[in-house]
Structure 1
Amino acid sequence: MANSPPPFLFLLVIFLFLYLSPDPQAPIASRKLDRVLDHERHALDTLNNSTFGDLLDDQHTLNLTGLRKDHGFHWDLLDPVRDRARDQAGYVLGEDTVGLIDGSSDRRPLVYHNVTGFVQGTWRSTKTYAGPHLNLSAITPHGTYSSEEWTRNVTSAAGDIRIHFGEKDHGEPWNTTARRLVARVTIGEDTAYGNWWDMRLHGYHLEDSGTIVLTTTSEKFDGIFALPHFSLSKHAFTLGQELLNRTLNATMEKQKSGEIDDFSPWSSVVEGEQELFSLPHCEYVMYLQQHPLPLHPLESSAVGNGLAMKFFEDELRNPYRISPKLPPEMVMSMVAFSPDCGFVIESNGPPDVSPQEGKHLVGPKTEAYAIVARRHIILFALVIGSQLVLLVRQMKEASTPSTRSRISFYTIALLALGDGFTLLGFAFVGMSYEAITLILLATAYVAFLSAVFFEIAENENNANTTDNERSSRYGFGTVYFRFYLLLFGLVFLSLHATTWPSSLQAVYSTLLIFTYFSFWTPQIYRNAMRNCRRALRWDYVAGQSVLRLLPFYYLFAYPGNILLLKPDLTFLAALTGWVWLQVCALLSQEHLGPRFFVRESWVPPAYDYHPVLRADEEGACLPSGGKVLAGEDSGLANSSSPSASKAGESRDKGKKVFDCAICMQDLEVPVVPAAGLSSGGDADGGSAAAAALSGGLLARRAYMVTPCRHIFHSVCLEGWMRYRLQCPICRETLPPL
């Protein structure tokens, strides 16, 4: 029989076939790119041949998608919104507002020239039409929508907004007063469903006045090409037109050369959140006015303020000394409207709203955010380090097979999953934010140690094994493989969940968090099934509970958290209550018995080391010599062990004294009279038995009786059984705790 070709050759042929085959979509993509470039050139030519005011002039028509008269957009909102934006600028800039807007004033306010960072706040709706009534088939003849429901359509009266700014250039030589600006806007409604939408807006930032104009762009709205027409003055229109003429041409050249592989580089859809089905969405035009900073200028002139801000921002970017003070936060007024959906929203703040109800949009610059993030991440690293210390102490406590068998694997797995999430999350974020990469990766390494520490200990303990033990260790390898597979699967699912609707995101995150904080539930279950208690140190249980809740207290109770989450004390109280219930269950199992809240038929039979002791009806001895377990019918053999030498001695009614063979000290135990458990006993015996049964629950935890009927102090026998599962007296095998 001829030898078959090696599998490698077969795989190589398949790889070459797939790699060298021409892309059938290439001609289609090329034709689409040509069509897109033709449309963009036409739109740019329209912008260059237009003048300020053509948008609302009945004698002129801007031949741009969404701006023609027959498209039905609500452009009658533009003038009122611009007037409102001028009013907001006048409130913060004062008497020089008109001169700053039209470029005739020499004074310059102290505002950031580079606004990279975050701002967030609340908004209110001031005007709303009945809703979008557009002929989408006429506006976008090449596009089809899978639903008539519009996204980003604000219908509530109030909500929250967060804006992340990223500037594309830093003062080009040909234009030192206007900068390209890209903003990721997250807007949410204050409703029971909590709708949230993410979108990307493009625009420009005028450094002299601190004015920002942004707009969305899509196949039904050429927002970026009409951006200068949304300006507050002719001066701003000229600056914006010059800026866009250069930047848009440069972007189109990159599209043509293939440097940019995107048919719509100005799309409002956030990168990585492309929709599976095409849905119509509302367009936005947004005006932001930066408030002056509480700084002292070098002199009251344009040159003085310009130099002051230049020195100040250079110091922020390249600090030459450590300053205990953080730079002032950015404060911005906002007014926005949707030309197709017909609503207007404004930020809440003075003078229309009291400072207690809102201070417009407030947030840190990127440099200040990085400083705060470093400090908070260091504190989080200390929390993880404390968890690691508790873990090491618990591992020393569980250093024997007897103690290790009491611990639930799933409890440790849930705790390790949380550390694994921290590891991967910090690693991903560290690759994106260069300013805090080092501290993030260092913290991720500490979380990595916490996640794999039990695996390392298990491998060291099994270094010298027999063949059967090696197969058991290989079984542990399978468990670890499944653990890491689950970890990476949950991480990728969580990343994908960021593209889900806000309601589904809330359900998923809540379910994931409460599942993670159920880490003591498997231990409670194992205690009940094995009838064991004190599997974990109490400092470990309390410490891990508190330390793992601390980051969530920071995120949901501290308004200045680095994730910019809103405080949610109700959710935090529910989470704390759930962990507290689990700890109380473990505490009750410690003192009242592992199965005190479980029906006997629900769990397998297990030996009880803390039985009810009753006197022997025939006067025989108790442990080692008497009947021990209430209700047992099996005969008990006599014993001549030292532990029974004082079995008949009694210090008080209903109590007996024995010798503990481990510590050689007296052991006083409660005893139920034998007559009290029989049907023919007298009233005194029955009352004594009832009192012993009801009040001796905690007293029974002080002693332990082995299956061979030897009695010891609980502390003594538990310490012995950590190393040997044999009776200290007769060497009979003992069931594990």
Structure 2
Amino acid sequence: MPPPQDNARVVFLIILLFWVATSPDNGPGFVAAPSLTRARLARQRHAHGVLNSTDWGAFAPHLHLDDPPPPPPDPENENSNITIPAGYLNLTGFRKEDGLAWDDLGRFKSRCEDWSRNAVGDPESQSPVWQNVSGVVKGHWVRRNASVYREHGSYNLTAMTPGIDWVGRQADWIRNATGSEGTMMLRIEDEEDAGTEPEKPRHTGLLPDEVVAREVSATVTIDDDEGTGASFDMRLHGVHWPRQGALLLTTTSEKFAGIFGLPHLTTREDFYESSKSLLNRTLDEVLQRKEKRTFADPTNPWAASIDSPGEGWTPAPHCEYVVYIQIHPPDKDILLVEPTLADPENVAKAIADLEYELRFPRGAPQQRHPKLQMSAVVYSPDCAFFIETRGPPEFTPAEGLHLIGWKQEFWLHSVSTWLLGFALVIFCQVQLLKMQIKETSTPSTLGRVSFYTASIMLLADGITFLGSSAWSLSASTTMLPSLVVTVASFLAMIVKERGSAHLPQIHRDPPETPVNTSTTTPPNANTAAVSNTILSTAARRANPRPPSPPIIIPSDQDIDAEIEEVTNGTTAAGLPTPATAANPTPAPPAGPTVSTIFGRFILIGISILFLSLAAITWRPHIRTTYFNLLAFTYLSLWVPQIYRNIYRNCRRAFSWRFVVGQSVLRLLPISYFYTAQDNFAFAEPDWTAFTVLAGWLWIQIWVLVAQNVLGPRFGLPKNWMPEAWEYHPILREDNVESGGLPIGLVSVSAPGSPSLERRKSNSGDGSSGSGAGGKHTTKIHVIDCAICREVLEVPVVKAGEADPAAVGGVAGVFARRVYMVTPCRHIFHSECLEGWMRFRLQCPICREELPPL
């Protein structure tokens, strides 16, 4: 019968609950979805018709005295049967009865023009800018209050959007930046092929064949540091004017037809004409494609949420945004243009050549990596506030430079380079692991390894494998580097299979492994300090192998009666039930299986992975604290090994090559995000946190070194841990009567046998060391090692002398490291016996069982 898969059930239950909790289809059913999709497409088709039938200046709400008066209504424009006041549009969110705070629309357009002039100059003589702005930028922002006040209670969503069932309409709206400042990350996808030419260039001075506008989309991540502390993402769609380097994007939802009214939010008439011509064509193509696939594709192509199906079925009210972005001119140093030839035409040609080189590398020389810089003005017409990037001229360059980042080609190159470097680091870890496995291939050496240290390494490689596998499924440009990381991490797990297969054996290692050495107290009081150096026969057999139960045969030879008594559970004499074929000896409880341990690893790895993904949306300081604690826990991999060394009285379990190499290799990928100023994740460098992490790892390595040199229990009270056999004891002459000296040293140390002692040639009286007043306190005894047959010099404390500092202190620790004494009182070279015990835990002379190192 196969063992029950309890862990598999738990993992399946967690995955099922996670899927149910995050499933967007918790509103309408399968049958109702197509009808809702058709209703949404009908509203969008109506909005597209309004865009086609309106002209420049049709949307000019005269809600503020400083705004210009709206243009007179066009009698030939019949949008619908609803009477729309002058200056408004029959679009959701652009109607007067919707009540959006359009009072500051003129202020928004004015700030957009100011931002453009500060960046590129006047429209007639502006500096050339990047033509393709696909990339990632990040910077700080400040919040400005609008002239009016709005909150969620200021709107009647039922009247604005009849037939839409909003979730949490009475609560505060999401994506509301309430703090005074924060950070913003912008990922732009500039569709270069989605360009359009104006049908009739009107007062633009542009050639008819010049592309003046193209479609663009962006994902904005806003961190509200001082307000709600939350981080939210939103999807925006809009238009990019390459020649001016300007972008206008907006969110779109059921209560705000942003993309259909975007041309009316532009600041110039040429922007309006080009964006209207572009959107009339692209929106119609998308609507036609969606109308043909109503049942197969229910998503909203212009949804503001990353999870568009969820927003379509169960929409939650959120703040809407209109974003104006101005691209800054590139640095002249990276364009390789002579100052005498730095006219706009040559600069524009250099920019075009550089962009072509980035997209299609040919090996052209470049001095520096191109930076992408832009400034942004964000306006929320329903929540009534502004967000402006921090930078000149209102702020000094030290306070901020607006939004700084890289073009998409270089950003993807940085990601790919880091992934390949990370894969190389994993390959180096695998090589170190292979060499370490050769050194820990025996039960003796394997027993020294800490189960939790090996688990941390295996768990980290497993999480890397899961993360890289998931990333490879959705990656496009970085798919090959991601696959390399996946293969490297999988290889690390395969190589660990040999070591991980022994994890159950390490986990089953009983806590009684340390040998209890509390034996008979020596008769001499001076020998109390070395009581741990004696192991009697009774102590060596304190945990003997349990004897086989006896087979009891009754005296009357009545086997049938005996079997009946055995069946009843007792014997006639009241003795324990004997072991028979019908009543076998119960097997000892089995330890954890490999599947159980791996099931725990999988559960912990998935939990950490999901928790880390969820931490991205936490408050910045909480998110930073979480990742710092996660890195601190990960880099504490040697702490369990330190405890293992103390518990088993083991000096060293891993080679120094493995310890130092693994420490450096596992710290190296983390150091990139803590120290690199221009890392691809835009993480703020934190040298303080990195110093703490590196220092903590350095301290662990030095503790392992101290354990190897001074002993694993050096400086610790004896009652903290169970007593264990000390292979490097202090040898004293007055331990002869108690049997404390090794065999071979007793005869030469006994009184009356000085002639048998072999002394060192440089010690005339056979003594070394000095106590108070220069008195010699130790003797050097010479004996042959039974393994290598070479001379072994052993320092022995004279009878009646106190523990000298030369032997009991740090210097004495190094002196005692030369020899090792077994519980059976045999003495060997330390290197010889350690090499022997790697393969066999028996004394080389008498074959007695030896406690592991």
Query: What range is the shorter-chain TM-score in?
Result: 0.7 to 0.9
Whether 2:383 is the aligned partner of 1:341: answer: yes
Q: 1:170 aligns with which of 179, 193, 199?
A: 193
> Which residue pairs with 2:155 in the alignment?
135
Moved more, 529-538 or 134-143: 134-143
1:679-732: per-residue Cα shift (whole Å, max 9, x none)?
Answer: xxxxxx45x468754554454444321101122332332122123222233232
1:494-521: per-residue Cα shift (whole Å, max 9, x none)?
Answer: 4455566767655554443333222212
> Which residue pairs with 2:677 in the alignment?
559
1:218-241: per-residue Cα shift (whole Å, max 9, x none)?
Answer: 222222222112111111111112
Which amino acid in the other structure matches residue 703 of structure 2? A
Query: In the alignment, is the contact (CA less than 8 A) between 2:743 and 2:826 conserved in 1?
Result: no
Q: 1:725 aligns with which of 841, 848, 851?
A: 841
Local SS of the residue matching 2:461: helix
Query: In the alignment, is the contact (CA less than 8 A) between 2:237 and 2:302 conserved in 1?
Result: yes
Q: Which whole-Å CA distance do the structure 1 matches of 2:443 and 2:367 have between them?
A: 54
Query: In the alignment, is the contact (CA less than 8 A) between 1:108 and 1:301 conserved in 2?
Result: no
Q: Offset at 1:216?
A: 1.4
Local SS of the residue matching 1:170: strand
Q: Classify 1:729/1:654 alpha carbon distance in 2 versus 1 (closer, same or farther; 3 Å).
A: farther
Q: Which whole-Å CA distance do the structure 1 matches of 2:796 and 2:228 have between them?
A: 62
1:579-615: per-residue Cα shift (whole Å, max 9, x none)?
Answer: 2333233233223332346665554443222233333
CA RMSD of aligned residues (A): 3.8
Q: Which whole-Å CA distance do the structure 2 matches of 1:710 and 1:561 have between them?
A: 60
Q: Classify 1:127/1:405 alpha carbon distance in 2 versus 1 (closer, same or farther; 3 Å).
A: same
Q: Classify 1:272/1:727 alpha carbon distance in 2 versus 1 (closer, same or farther; 3 Å).
A: farther
Q: Offset at 1:474?
A: 10
Q: Which whole-Å CA distance do the structure 1 matches of 2:115 and 2:824 have between them?
A: 87
Q: Classify 1:245/1:693 alpha carbon distance in 2 versus 1 (closer, same or farther; 3 Å).
A: same
> Which residue pairs with 2:118 in the alignment?
91
> Which residue pairs with 1:715 in the alignment?
831
Local SS of the residue matching 1:51: coil
Q: Offset at 1:245?
A: 1.6
Q: Which whole-Å CA distance do the structure 2 matches of 1:720 and 1:302 have between them?
A: 80
Q: Classify 1:171/1:68 alpha carbon distance in 2 versus 1 (closer, same or farther; 3 Å).
A: closer
Whether 2:290 is the aligned partner of 1:286: answer: no
Local SS of the residue matching 2:193: coil
Q: 1:209 aligns with which of 210, 226, 244?
A: 244
Q: 2:665 aligns with which of 534, 542, 547?
A: 547
Whether 2:271 is the aligned partner of 1:236: answer: yes
Which amino acid in the other structure matches residue 170 of structure 1? D
Local SS of the residue matching 1:364: strand
Q: 1:53 aligns with which of 54, 57, 68?
A: 57
Moved more, 493-502 or 249-258: 493-502
Q: Which whole-Å CA distance do the structure 2 matches of 1:313 and 1:690 have between them?
A: 74
Whether 2:287 is the aligned partner of 1:265: answer: no
Query: In the alignment, is the contact (CA less than 8 A) between 2:675 and 2:686 conserved in 1?
Result: yes
Which amino acid in the other structure matches residue 568 of structure 1? D
Query: In the alignment, is the contact (CA less than 8 A) between 2:729 and 2:816 conserved in 1?
Result: yes
Q: Offset at 1:257?
A: 1.8
Q: Classify 1:594/1:505 alpha carbon distance in 2 versus 1 (closer, same or farther; 3 Å).
A: same
Q: Classify 1:191/1:665 alpha carbon distance in 2 versus 1 (closer, same or farther; 3 Å).
A: farther
> Which residue pairs with 2:538 in the alignment?
none
Q: Offset at 1:374?
A: 3.5
Local SS of the residue matching 1:567: coil
Q: Classify 1:559/1:174 alpha carbon distance in 2 versus 1 (closer, same or farther; 3 Å).
A: same
In structure 1, the gaps of 5 or more residues are 1-22, 100-106, 463-470, 629-636, 639-643, 676-684
Which amino acid in the other structure matches residue 838 of structure 2? R
Whether 2:611 is the aligned partner of 1:611: answer: no
TM-score by length of 2: 0.71
The residue correspondences of 1:446-457 to structure 2 (distance < 5 A) are 446-456=488-498
Whether 2:262 is the aligned partner of 1:144: answer: no
Q: Offset at 1:109?
A: 4.4
Q: Offset at 1:524?
A: 2.0
Q: Offset at 1:533?
A: 2.0
Q: Classify 1:473/1:185 alpha carbon distance in 2 versus 1 (closer, same or farther; 3 Å).
A: same
In structure 2, the gaps of 5 or more residues are 1-26, 63-85, 199-210, 505-588, 751-755, 760-764, 770-775
Query: In the alignment, is the contact (CA less than 8 A) between 2:225 and 2:620 conserved in 1?
Result: no
Q: Which whole-Å CA distance do the structure 2 matches of 1:273 and 1:497 have between them?
A: 23
Q: Which whole-Å CA distance do the structure 1 matches of 2:495 and 2:226 have between them?
A: 45
Q: Offset at 1:489?
A: 5.3
Q: Which whole-Å CA distance do the structure 2 matches of 1:473 and 1:369 have between them?
A: 50
Q: Which whole-Å CA distance do the structure 2 matches of 1:475 and 1:323 have between them?
A: 59
Q: Which whole-Å CA distance do the structure 2 matches of 1:460 and 1:613 have between them?
A: 38
Query: In the alignment, is the contact (CA less than 8 A) between 2:34 and 2:298 conserved in 1?
Result: no
The residue correspondences of 1:247-396 to structure 2 (distance < 5 A) are 247-258=282-293, 261-271=297-307, 279-293=316-330, 294=332, 295=335, 309-321=351-363, 323=365, 325=367, 328-396=370-438
Moved more, 341-350 or 259-268: 259-268
The residue correspondences of 1:553-592 to structure 2 (distance < 5 A) are 553-592=671-710
Q: Offset at 1:563?
A: 2.0
Q: 1:123 aligns with which of 141, 146, 151?
A: 141
1:272-326: per-residue Cα shift (whole Å, max 9, x none)?
Answer: 8958986542221111111123337899998877665554433332223365556
Q: Classify 1:172/1:689 alpha carbon distance in 2 versus 1 (closer, same or farther; 3 Å).
A: closer
Q: Offset at 1:664?
A: 4.5
Local SS of the residue matching 2:121: helix
TM-score by length of 1: 0.81
Whether 2:456 is the aligned partner of 1:437: answer: no
Residues matched between the structures, number = 675
Q: Classify 1:654/1:71 alpha carbon distance in 2 versus 1 (closer, same or farther; 3 Å).
A: farther
Query: In the alignment, is the contact (CA less than 8 A) between 2:778 and 2:798 conserved in 1?
Result: no
Which amino acid in the other structure matches residue 166 of structure 1? E
Local SS of the residue matching 1:212: strand
Q: Offset at 1:438?
A: 2.3
Local SS of the residue matching 2:423: helix
Local SS of the residue matching 1:616: helix
Q: Which whole-Å CA distance do the structure 2 matches of 1:212 and 1:24 have between them?
A: 37
Q: Offset at 1:549?
A: 0.9
Query: In the alignment, is the contact (CA less than 8 A) between 1:195 and 1:503 conserved in 2?
Result: no
Q: 1:415 aligns with which of 442, 457, 472?
A: 457
Q: Which whole-Å CA distance do the structure 1 matches of 2:503 and 2:393 have between them?
A: 69
Max Rg structure: 2
Local SS of the residue matching 2:248: strand
Q: 2:783 aligns with which of 644, 654, 659?
A: 659
Local SS of the residue matching 1:337: strand
Q: Which whole-Å CA distance do the structure 1 matches of 2:414 and 2:366 have between them?
A: 11
> Which residue pairs with 1:80 in the alignment?
107
Which amino acid in the other structure matches residue 145 of structure 1? V
Local SS of the residue matching 2:361: coil
Query: In the alignment, is the contact (CA less than 8 A) between 1:61 and 1:68 conserved in 2?
Result: yes
Q: Offset at 1:28?
A: 1.9
The residue correspondences of 1:438-517 to structure 2 (distance < 5 A) are 438-456=480-498, 475-476=593-594, 478-480=596-598, 482-484=600-602, 486-488=604-606, 490-492=608-610, 494-495=612-613, 498=616, 505-506=623-624, 508-517=626-635
Q: Which whole-Å CA distance do the structure 1 matches of 2:347 and 2:502 have between them?
A: 66
Moved more, 291-300 or 574-583: 291-300
Q: Classify 1:724/1:296 alpha carbon distance in 2 versus 1 (closer, same or farther; 3 Å).
A: closer
Which amino acid in the other structure matches residue 135 of structure 1? Y
